[in-house]
A and B are shown apart, each in its own frame.
Chain A
Amino acid sequence: MLRILRAAIIALAVLATAGAAAKDREVTIGLQAAVTSMDPHYHNLSPNNSLLVHIFEPLIKRDANGKLVPALATSWRTIDDLTWEFKLRRNVKFHDGSPFTADDVVFTLKRVPNVPNSPSSFATFTKPIVDVKVIDPYTIQFKTATPHVLMPSDLASVYIVSKKHGEGATTEDYNSGKAAIGTGPYKLTEYVPNQRVVLKANYGYWGGEEPWDTVTFKILSNPAARVAALLSGDVQMIETVPTSDIARLAHDKRFSLVDKVTNRVIYVHLNQSTDKAPPYVTAKDGSPLEKNPFRDPRVRRALSMAINREAIDSRIMEGRAVPASQMLPDIFPGTSKKLKPVKYDPEGARKLLAEAGYPNGFALTIFGPNNRYINDDKIAQAIAQFYSRIGVDAKVQTMPSSVYFTRATKLEFGYMLLGWGTESMEQGSGLRSLLATHDPAKGMGVNNRGRYSNPEFDRVLTEALDTMDDAKRYAMIAHAAEIAFNDTGLIPIHYEVSTWATASGYRYTPRADQYTLVTDLKPAR
Chain B
Amino acid sequence: MNEAAREVAAVAPPGVALPAASPAVQSPWRRLAADFARSRLAMAGLVLLVAIGLCALLAPWISPQNPYDLAQLDVMDSKLAPGEASVTTGMKHWLGTDDQGRDMLSAIFFGLRISLGVGIASVAFALVIGLVLGLAAAYFGGWVDAAVMRVVDLQLSFPAILIALILLAVLGQGVGKIIVALVTVQWAYYARTVRSSALVERQKEYVEAAEVLALSRVRVVLRHLLPNCLPPLIVVATVQVAHAIALEATLSFLGLGLPITEPSLGLLISNGFQYMLSGKYWISFYPGLALMLTIVAINLVADQLRDVLNPRLSR
Contact = CB atoms under 8 A, between A and B. Distances in A.
Contacts of A244: 99, 274-275, 277-278, 280
B19 to A, nearest CB: 34
Most chain B beta carbons < 10 A, residue from A315, A384, A388, A398: A315
B168 A403 contact: yes
A381 B100 contact: yes
Contact of A371 (B69, B76, B255): B255
A312 B101 CA distance: 12
Contact of A400 (B73, B255, B274, B275): B255
Contact of B165 (A227, A384, A395, A402): A402
Interface stretch (B200-208, B256-264, B307-315): B256-264
Interface in A320-374: 370-371
Contacts of B255: 370-371, 377, 398-400
A247 B279 CA distance: 9
B168 to A, nearest CB: 6
B275 to A, nearest CB: 5
Contacts of A316: 75, 78, 99
Contacts of B168: 399-400, 403
A381 B74 CA distance: 11
Nearest to B261: A396
Interface residues of B, number: 31
A403 B177 CA distance: 15
A312 B74 CA distance: 11
B259 A224 contact: no
B212 interface: no
Interface of chain B, helix or strand or loop or mixed? loop
Contacts, number: 90
A382 interface: yes
Given A315-B75, A397-B172, A402-B165, A227 B277 contact: yes
Most chain B beta carbons < 10 A, residue from A223, A370, A371, A385: A385
Given A395-B259, A397-B259, A385 B74 contact: yes
Contacts of B165: 400, 402-403
Contact of B273 (A224, A312, A389): A224
A231 B74 CA distance: 32
B261 A403 contact: no
A245 to B, nearest CB: 5
A177 interface: no
B276 interface: yes
A394 B68 CA distance: 12
A442 interface: no
24 contacts: A224-B273, A244-B277, A248-B279, A308-B75, A315-B79, A315-B101, A316-B75, A377-B255, A378-B100, A380-B260, A381-B100, A381-B261, A385-B73, A394-B70, A395-B259, A396-B261, A397-B172, A397-B173, A397-B259, A398-B255, A399-B255, A400-B165, A403-B165, A403-B168
